Amino acid sequence: MKNKIILITGATSGIGRATAIRFANVGARLILCGRRKEKLDVLVKDLGENHQSLIFDVRDKKAVFKAIESLPKEFKKIDVLINNAGNAHGMDSAQTANLDDWDAMIDSNVKGLMYVTKAVLPFMVEKQKGQIINLGSIAAKEVYPDGSVYCSSKAAVDSFTKGLRVDLNPLGIRVGAIHPGLVETEFSYIRFKGDQKRSKQVYEGMNALNAEDIADAILYMTQVPEKVNIADIVILPTSQANAYVNNRSV
Ligand code: 8X3
């Protein structure tokens, strides 16, 4: 990974941040993307001088393309794109859910991920090399109650990943996705709009995964020989059998 260029969206917290730290530790040069300048500045400072930061919201199409175009030439040779930005907003039945929450999930998890991919692709196509890793979810594979749109958004990520792999196959660009189950980050805190009690309940008694567990798996996906493409990983805590069967006595 020494001197490889890795672009990570949603790098300011959770899985994105943990992944950034893992890659920095193995000598990669990072392009850390996020919305929160202060948090990004602190991270870039902590990780050393070899890195770039880009402040944009993946939902803002123009901002995505402008930010990526603004990269210095040597940083445009992106080796690995990690499409991590995205979130859940609300957890409700379709008949009671808030439409703004639906927009937020589709705009970031689906459209935002596609914008970033489209902005980075020309650089990979030019050198006929590269790797794209998309953050899906167990929600891409199984639909659970009150999660229709979040699950739809992640199912779209799953399909987009497969489509990209087909399209990019002649170019030798690797494409894969990682689908985590319960990972204890600020994910549920955001989903439940700051409701500490509700978000804590999600992980209670679960010994859930943490962001570093996912970062380790992402790093692994990039460290296998180039002839190997880890196309799909579903990663769950041992206490979780699927999207809705949990053993909370761990
Ligand atoms: C996050 C995991 O189980 O809440 O994508 O869908 S879950």
What average pLDDT score do residues 26-47 get?
Answer: 93
Report whether 134 contacts 177 (CB < 8 A).
yes
Residue 2: is its pLDDT beyond 90? no
pLDDT score at 50: 86
pLDDT score at 148: 98
Catalogue the active-site residues.
150
Could you give the CA distance from residue 107 to residue 105 in angstroms, rounded to a whole number?
5
pLDDT digits (tens, 9 = 90+) for 166-203: 999 999 999 999 999 999 999 999 999 999 999 999 99
Q: How far is CA 112 from the centre of its chain?
A: 11
Encode the chain in three state secondary structure.
Answer: CCCCEEEECCCCCHHHHHHHHHHHHCCCEEEEEECCHHHHHHHHHHHCCCCEEEECCCCCHHHHHHHHHCCCHHHHCCCEEEECCCCCCCCCCCCCCCHHHHHHHHHHHHHHHHHHHHHHHHHHHHHCCCEEEEECCHHHHCCCCCCHHHHHHHHHHHHHHHHHHHHHHHHCCEEEEEEECCECCCHHHHHCCCCHHHHHHHHCCCCCECHHHHHHHHHHHHHCCCCCCCCEEEECCCCECCCCCECCCC
The sheet with strand 52-55 has its strands ordered as 52-55, 29-34, 5-8, 80-83, 131-135, 174-180, 232-235
pLDDT score at 49: 78
pTM attached to this predicted model: 0.97
The overall longest dimension of the chain from CA atoms, in Å, is: 52
Rg over alpha carbons for the chain, rounded to the nearest Å, is: 17
Mutate to test the pocket of ligand 1, among 91, 113, 137, 144 (most ligand atoms within 8 A of CB): 137
Q: How large a percentage of the chain has pLDDT more than 90?
A: 95
Binding-site residues, ligand 1, Cβ < 6 A: 137-139, 181-182, 187, 243
The candidate with the shortest Cα–Cα distance to 9, out of 50, 57, 49, 48, is 57
pLDDT score at 112: 98
Report whether 149 contacts 102 (CB < 8 A).
yes
Question: 140 CA to middle of ligand 1, Å?
Answer: 9
Question: 203 CA to middle of ligand 1, Å?
Answer: 11
pLDDT score at 202: 94
Instruction: Tell me the one-letter amino acid at 72.
Output: P
What average pLDDT score do residues 50-60 get?
Answer: 95
| Domains of the chain and any CATH numbers | 5-184+210-235 (3.40.50.720)
- Tell me how far apart the terminal alpha carbons of the chain are, to the nearest angstrom: 36
Residue 57, token pair as written in the block = 């919201």
Residue 105: is its pLDDT beyond 90? yes
Nearest CA to ligand 1 atom 2: 181
Q: Give the pLDDT band (50/70/90) at residue 72.
A: very high
Question: 9 CA to middle of ligand 1, Å?
Answer: 18
Q: How many CB atoms lie within 10 A of CB 99?
A: 8
pLDDT digits (tens, 9 = 90+) for 197-226: 999 999 999 999 999 999 999 999 999 999
Q: How far is CA 46 from the centre of its chain?
A: 21
pLDDT digits (tens, 9 = 90+) for 80-103: 999 999 999 999 999 999 999 999
Q: Give the pLDDT band (50/70/90) at residue 234.
A: very high
